Amino acid sequence: MSDNKAEIFLKKDYHFFKLENDELNNNKIFIWTYWKLNKNDIGKKNNSIEVFEIILSDGERLWSQNIKIKDISVYIKNIKEEDYYTLIKKALTYTKKDTEEKFIYNWNLKDDIANLTIKLEISNSNDNLQNKFQYLLGSIDLLPVKSENRKQIYQLIYEDTEKEYQKLKDENSFLIITNDSLQKIQNEFTEKMTMIVEDKNKLEEVYLLKFRELLNEKKRKIKNLMMVLKKKGSNKKAKSGFIKY
């Protein structure tokens, strides 16, 4: 690759993402994609038009491929071309935030060739019974990157890794700041709750004391009333004991 081509290569705005699948031998891969297809070229009968460029790595080896319309036109079945290209572009710019479509990725990596298959999982719900089927968006064969091109790709990997590290570092800093802020709020809340509980206990003591005083006062009044009633009852008995002649 010449210096001019290398410069053009590094200026491309690649989309980077990482995939993991514990069921596969090579359970982790790194993917860079660069979308080339212009919307105005969709529907043209020119099979040599490039759709996208893809680079794949398992952390040690590298594969790449330029995909043209002729390479994936076979997968456009029972679907509008524009809809197909929209889906495959979404699958190639994967992000965990996407929840509208579910893409399934599988790969098989060998020294001389790597294969990446992408499927769209479609679900039909009927009377609470869910039927799922998969639509094959593409099966891509990638060839090993030539030794003279590896330097530029490794540079790309380094830059994306550095960006990813900085992103994680920024997210970590944000989480630390957020955690400190939440800790401060929690401490203030705990302090206020402690004050509220203390005030509540004091009020309970005051109200309990007043209640006791009120209860004792009621008891005294009832006792006095009972004594008065008892005294009146004794007087009545005494009067009824006199005999008139």
Residues paired with 32 in a beta bridge: 16, 55
Q: What is the mean pLDDT of residues 211-224?
A: 87
The pLDDT value recorded for residue 124 is 67
The pLDDT value recorded for residue 245 is 46
pTM strictly above 0.75:
no
Q: How confident is the model at residue 138 (pLDDT cuts 50, 70, 90)?
A: very high
The CA distance from 7 to 189, in Å, is 57
Residues paired with 138 in a beta bridge: 118
- Is residue 244, in this structure, part of any structural domain at all? no
Domain boundary among 102, 117, 145: 145
Q: Is 92 exposed, middle or buried (0-12, 13-18, 19+ CB in 10 A)?
A: buried
Domain boundary among 83, 114, 145: 145
The pLDDT value recorded for residue 137 is 93
Domain membership of residue 206 as a residue range = 150-239
User: Which of 67, 70, 76 lies closest to 35 in space, CA to CA?
Assistant: 67
Q: Which residue intervals of the chain are DSSP H helices?
A: 3-11, 69-72, 81-92, 147-240
The total number of structural domains that make up the chain: 2
Domain boundary among 145, 173, 201: 145
Spell 131-157 as b/e; 16+ CB within 10 A means b.
eeeebebbebebeebeeebeebbeebb
The CA distance from 37 to 146, in Å, is 25
